[in-house]
Structure 1
Amino acid sequence: MLANQFDAFFFDLDGVIYVGAKPLPHAVESLKRLRELRKEIRFLTNDPCTTREKTALRLSKLGIEAYESEVVTSGWATAQYLHTKGIKTAFVLGDEHLKWECEQMGILVNESNGIGENEAVVVGWNGNVTLTDLQKAALAIHYGATFIATSGDKSFPLPEGPVPAVGAVLQLLETSTGKRPIIVGKPHSLMFETALDTLPLHSKAVMIGDNPDTDVLGAHQIGLPAILVSNNHISFPSSIDFRNPDAVIQSLQELFDDGTIIRNWTKPSFSWPEKVKAGVAGIVMDDRQRVLLIKRADNGLWGIPSGHVEPGETVEQAMVREFKEETGLDVNIRRLIGVYSDPVSQAFEYPNGEISQFITVYFECEILQGSHVEKGEEALDINYFDPDKLPSDLLPMHPKWLEDALNKKQSPFIR
């Protein structure tokens, strides 16, 4: 049975342990049985409008044994993170619970809008936030305050329907500042790391939740298996989608059924991308069969000229434009070398934290007569290299691209 396969169980709350003011069927007795088996239990919630003590008390009133030390709220985990980063002052867009958690870590909650007075802007939830508060937060972020959020949840379910949550406020501030926040709550790793730090060394843990996009994705990103509580079969189109649960149960009672099977989760060697983008890359060789490479300004690595497909462009148009912008050269497309989408080599994390997977269309190009090399804004340097003497600081996927270009196979590669 699943209960015997793990030392520690991480539980989401709403939809797994209770709904509203009532525990879900079999939740109380299942948690009691896990304690009898001497399992470690942790309760993880993205709710920033509570404290660990209040969460444990709420569970106790439902007949569930729970202790403050077993609760990880997004507000508490956020305050812990601020403390580890040495932040002493913060402008907090949250209720009294989040402010209290910050103050317990020695952080001054400063509501002044003085420029540069706050080291961080912390976004939780407060239904009384005003436009003036948002303007203060945006200005503080603009002038260098660290931008941190308890979670990225865009909505919260009420009986009447979904209403805005923390993520809705984040999108407003991201749009107005051009900055992305550090997010602590699920599915981001900080929440899980905080919970794991409270366990005995070498504990084997599993996450149990009801949301594939937060509980399952978050657990898988940090390498933990994940069980989904649902009455429906949940499956995403790709078998390697991080949101696919390793087991689906209808109630916690199934943790003790011999027939409940969980697949082994092995974390792939790539980060989970937020989006998939279209890209182009092009190789040009001179009459000595040397390849043209640029040293990119964004990461300082050498690589084949490459870039994005912009709205309204064909891939050919994008390739011609990117080559011109990066090298000053006017080129023609000679042939298609291949299409590349392997996430191990094609998933990139940008300095702002965004992770995108590219589908890159790769061409062989020729330089138009009279065109001259001219370094663009995205290039630190441009040079020709012998394929056998490539620079050591070459983008990791580009040796394979070069190998494919030199292979005169007629049909395009699909990788």
Structure 2
Amino acid sequence: MFIDEFELFLFDADGVIYVGDQPCLGSAEVISWLQKRGKGVRILTNDSRFSREEIQEKLSRMTIFLDKEDIITASWCAAYYLQKMKASKVLVVGTDALRREITEMGVTLVDDSPEAIVIGFNEDLKLKEIQQAIHYVERGVAFIATNGDISYPTPKGRQPATGSIVRLIENVTGQKAFIVGKPSSFIFQIAQNGYSSETRTIMIGDSPEIDILGAHQVNIPAVLVSAQSIQYPSLRDYRVPDGQVNNLFQLLEESFQLDSWKKPDFPWPEKIEVAVAALIFNKNKQVLLIERKDNSYWALPTGRMERGETLEEAVVREIMEELNLKIRVKNLVGLYSHPSDQVLSYSSGETIQFVAACFFCEIEEGDLRNNQFEILKSGFYSVSQLPHPMVESHRRWIEDGLRNDGLTVFR
């Protein structure tokens, strides 16, 4: 039986355990069944409006009985995170329940000169509160959000949630929030506190973008609760559930089975962008390389395509901006998109999957001069003695170019 394979069951709340004040079909019965068999049960909710005590009371009215420590809210995770970062003065945008969770961790709430800002959700939120948060985020104050959920389910339909406010602040300030709730790995790590790293854990949720993705990022299998058919084009997609049920009762059926989840060898990208690279040889068959300032790796000259550009225009512009060289594009070496090579994570917190076009190019004019903001060193190097450390995928692009068989590589 599926249930026997796991020891700790993590349930989303809204849409899985209840909707509004009404329990979902099978929630009370299935949780009671698990508890009687000695299984660990915990709730993971991104709802920052309520404290753990308030959710505990709500669950008890539905005959679902859990200890407060088994209710993991994004609000409490935010408070826990503030304690870890040793923030003593914090500006909070959210409900009184969120404020209580934070003050109970010994943190002082302030309106002026905060060390951190925490964004939650409140139906009575005022525009001036958001403007105040923007003011401090622009000045570099730590920007923390309970979750990134754009909306949440109610009996009357979906309503805007914390993520809508967070996106607004991010768009205005250009700063990215640290999310403590799902799908962040932070809340899943906290949810397993008190259990060993060997504990067999599973997530049950109703959102592929939040519950399934979050669980898979920390290599936890996940079941989707939904009557809708969910399909994604690739099995490497972190949002693909390992199983799906219409209601929680189906988890107890003998016929219910999970697909096995194997975490891919790349982190989940937030977006896809187009990049270009130039493969340039001198008359001595040496290749032009740069030492990147952001990570000190050696690489081919690369850059991102801007809106309104063609690929050819992009690579010509990038080489002029980075190396003061006017080039002519000869032909396409390869088009590279496999996530194992093309998903990159940056110190800013961004993770991007690139579709990269590498071109054979030749120099028409110019003196090699580095853009000091992006490049530490540049020069021509023998392909048999490439500098170290080298971006491994670029090493393969050079090999593709050296084949010189006239065929474009797709990888």
Same fold (TM over 0.5): yes
Which segment drifts farther, 356-365 or 128-137?
128-137
Which residue identity does 2:390 align to in structure 1?
Answer: L
Which residue identity does 1:375 align to in structure 2?
Answer: N
Q: Residue 153 of structure 2 aligns with which residue?
A: 157
Q: Residue 257 of structure 2 aligns with which residue?
A: 261
CA distance in 2, matches of 1:254, 1:133: 44
CA distance in 1, matches of 2:148, 2:22: 26
Question: Residues 87-118 of structure 1, C-alpha deviation per residue, up to 9 Å, x if partnerless?
Answer: 11111111111111111111111122xxxx21
Taking a change above 3 Å as real, the CA distance of residues 200 and 155 of structure 1, as seen in their structure-2 partners, is same
Q: Residue 98 of structure 1 aligns with which residue?
A: 98
CA distance in 1, matches of 2:17, 2:312: 54
Q: Residue 69 of structure 1 aligns with which residue?
A: 69
Give 1:254 deviation, angstroms. Answer: 1.9
Q: Residue 373 of structure 1 aligns with which residue?
A: 368
Q: Does 1:186 align with 2:182?
A: yes
Question: Residues 133-182 of structure 1, C-alpha deviation per residue, up to 9 Å, x if partnerless?
Answer: 22321222222211000001112334444332111111221122211000
Q: Which residue of 114, 119, 125 maps to 1:118?
A: 114
Any unmatched runs of 5+ in structure 2?
A: none
Which residue identity does 1:371 align to in structure 2?
Answer: G
Give 1:349 deviation, angstroms. Answer: 1.6
Question: Residues 15-44 of structure 1, C-alpha deviation per residue, up to 9 Å, x if partnerless?
Answer: 111222222222222111111111000101
Q: Residue 296 of structure 2 aligns with which residue?
A: 300
CA distance in 2, matches of 1:21, 1:400: 57
Q: Residue 136 of structure 1 aligns with which residue?
A: 132
CA distance in 2, matches of 1:360, 1:109: 47
SS in 2 for 1:29: helix
Contact 1:154 1:166 survives alignment (8 Å): yes
Contact 1:40 1:199 survives alignment (8 Å): no
Q: How does 1:328-407 map to 2 (within 5 A)?
A: 328-368=324-364, 370-376=365-371, 377-407=373-403
Give 1:201 deviation, angstroms. Answer: 4.4
Give 1:340 deviation, angstroms. Answer: 0.4
Q: Which residue of 266, 269, 284 maps to 1:273?
A: 269
CA distance in 1, matches of 2:130, 2:93: 8
Taking a change above 3 Å as real, the CA distance of residues 159 and 57 of structure 1, as seen in their structure-2 partners, is closer
CA distance in 2, matches of 1:25, 1:273: 34
CA distance in 1, matches of 2:401, 2:394: 10
Q: Does 1:326 align with 2:322?
A: yes
Please report the RMSD computed on the Cα atoms of aligned residues, expressed in angstroms: 1.4
How does the TM-score come out when normalised to structure 1? 0.96
CA distance in 2, matches of 1:29, 1:139: 48
CA distance in 2, matches of 1:157, 1:29: 22
Q: Residue 15 of structure 1 aligns with which residue?
A: 15
Give 1:132 deviation, angstroms. Answer: 2.7
Contact 1:331 1:366 survives alignment (8 Å): yes
Any unmatched runs of 5+ in structure 1?
A: none
Q: Residue 206 of structure 1 aligns with which residue?
A: 202
CA distance in 1, matches of 2:205, 2:100: 27
Which residue identity does 1:308 align to in structure 2?
Answer: R
Contact 1:330 1:367 survives alignment (8 Å): yes
Q: Does 1:108 align with 2:108?
A: yes
Question: Residues 385-406 of structure 1, C-alpha deviation per residue, up to 9 Å, x if partnerless?
Answer: 1112111122232111111111
Which residue identity does 2:36 align to in structure 1?
Answer: E
Q: Residue 58 of structure 2 aligns with which residue?
A: 58
Taking a change above 3 Å as real, the CA distance of residues 259 and 20 of structure 1, as seen in their structure-2 partners, is same
Sequence identity, in percent?
Answer: 37
Runs of 4+ in 1 over 4 A off after TM superposition: none
SS in 2 for 1:397: helix
Question: Residues 291-335 of structure 1, C-alpha deviation per residue, up to 9 Å, x if partnerless?
Answer: 111112222221101111111111111111111111111111112
Contact 2:25 2:247 survives alignment (8 Å): yes
CA distance in 1, matches of 2:354, 2:198: 36
CA distance in 2, matches of 1:130, 1:42: 33
Q: Which residue of 220, 223, 239 maps to 2:216?
A: 220
Taking a change above 3 Å as real, the CA distance of residues 306 and 354 of structure 1, as seen in their structure-2 partners, is same
What is the count of residue pairs matched by the alignment? 410
Contact 1:279 1:361 survives alignment (8 Å): yes
Which segment drifts farther, 93-102 or 129-138?
129-138
Q: Residue 28 of structure 1 aligns with which residue?
A: 28
Contact 1:57 1:66 survives alignment (8 Å): no
CA distance in 2, matches of 1:26, 1:282: 58
Contact 1:281 1:307 survives alignment (8 Å): yes
